[in-house]
Amino acid sequence: MEKVFIYNELLGLKGTSGVLQQTNEKGYYDLVIKIKENRHRIFLPISQTVIIFSEPVIEMDQSLELE
């Protein structure tokens, strides 16, 4: 499970925080989002949805050499 930002025009999601549970074989993201005070499980089509992982990629310093 990964924390993500969700963009989906159909539902008007513009950087909504959520948790990616999985992707399924039918072409949907299985996500959990918070609406008001409750958490809801939703399925969004991969072809119409952009997700960005919340955790940035850690850049390794390539100048360091390990012996």
**pLDDT tens digits, one per residue of 2-56:** 999 999 999 999 999 999 999 999 999 999 999 899 999 999 999 999 999 998 8
Q: Give me the pLDDT at residue 49, please.
A: 96
Q: Give me the pLDDT at residue 28, please.
A: 97
- 49/33 Cα distance (integer angstroms): 14
CB atoms within 10 A of CB 51: 19
Of residues 20, 15, 64, 67, the one with CA closest to residue 42: 20
Quickly tell me which residue has 């997700």 as its tokens: 51
pTM here?
Answer: 0.78
Q: Give me the pLDDT at residue 20, please.
A: 96
Query: Residues 52, 61: contact at Cβ < 8 Å?
Result: no
Q: Give me the pLDDT at residue 57, please.
A: 81
